[in-house]
Amino acid sequence: MESYIKFTNQTQGRDRIFRAAQYACACVKYLIRNNAAKKELAEKLRNLESSLSAGRKLFRLGNTVSSVDAAAHALQLTDPVLQLCLTGAHLSRALYFACDNLLWARAVGLAPGFDKERWGLRASSCYLLSLLLSLLRDAYVLARLAACYARERRRCRQAPPPPSSTDNGSACCHPPGDVLPSDLMEALWASPAVTLDVVKNACDLFIPLDQLGVYRSGAGVVGLCGLLSSLIGILTLLEPRLKLKP
């Protein structure tokens, strides 16, 4: 299991680069949509975007197993809120990847009987649930960090500094209390891992919402948000200290 997961995870960097390029194509295509002189370029970008999307589906063939394994590890967390949020997020992501794999199999002719529209909506629903649970985890961690700053503010300004950004709120186990907006902003500023994860998940949220028709943000917004979240994903892959844990 360990060797298989290590092997499949080697494609994460390539998948994120492909994802960034895919949404960059979507952004440029949206910007030149009304330019008749660049109609040929728009068509090339559309074809490239489609090819990149197909390539990413191939990269994600092993991600279902990785997500199930991550959910099993999340079950071992002692914090019940983190345990619930992370386990649910990983399992939802595993279902998303399973649906995505079926869509890939249909696209290449291995499973022609599957309804593309229905399974596409199921994939988007699982992706949306995963993002909502991830954002709930972010809010919980952020509230714990802000509570630490609030207690320190009440206690004394000469007291030892609050927990560093590397613990992601793990040292703070008390309720937020009278947390002020300044405490929240201080926690965001001092915890780049939390801040980046919030921005990344919030950007990604527009993608399934648009696909499900819950909130039609348009191709331009989806492309921009997808590009931004992809760049953050590449950054956290290059700098593991910026990745929120657990």
Amino acid at 128: L
Residue owning tokens 């207690």? 151
Phi and psi, residue 30, nearest 5°: -70, -40
User: What pLDDT is recorded for position 9?
Assistant: 61
Ranges 8-17, 31-40, 44-53, 194-203: which has the least confidence: 8-17
User: What pLDDT is recorded for position 172?
Assistant: 52
Amino acid at 91: L
Residue 31: pLDDT band by 50, 70, 90 thresholds?
A: very high
Residue owning tokens 């956290």? 236
User: What pLDDT is recorded for position 114?
Assistant: 77
Residue 232: pLDDT band by 50, 70, 90 thresholds?
A: very high
- Residue 161 in contact with residue 120, Cβ under 8 Å? no
Query: SS in 3 state form for the chain?
Result: CHHHHHHHHCCHHHHHHHHHHHHHHHHHHHHCCCCHHHHHHHHHHHHHHHHHHHHHHHHHHHHHHHHHHHHHHHCCCCCHHHHHHHHHHHHHHHHHHHHHHHHHHHHCCCCCCCCHHHHHHHHHHHHHHHHHHHHHHHHHHHHHHHHHHHHHHHHCCCCCCCCCHHHCCCCCCCCCCCCCHHHHHHHHHHCHHHHHHHHHHHHHHHHHHHHHCCCCCCHHHHHHHHHHHHHHHHHHHHCHHHCCCC
User: What pLDDT is recorded for position 125?
Assistant: 97
* Residue 235 φ/ψ region, left for φ over 0, alpha for ψ in the -120 to 50 degree band, beta for the rest: alpha
Maximum CA extent, the chain: 68
The structure's pTM equals 0.86
Paired tokens of 156: 């004394």
For the stretch 158-181, pLDDT in tens is 545 555 544 555 445 444 456 777
Annotated domain spans of the chain: 2-242
Paired tokens of 230: 């992809």
Amino acid at 109: G
Q: How far apart are CA 68 and CA 84, in angstroms?
A: 14
For the stretch 88-112, pLDDT in tens is 999 999 999 999 988 888 887 887 7
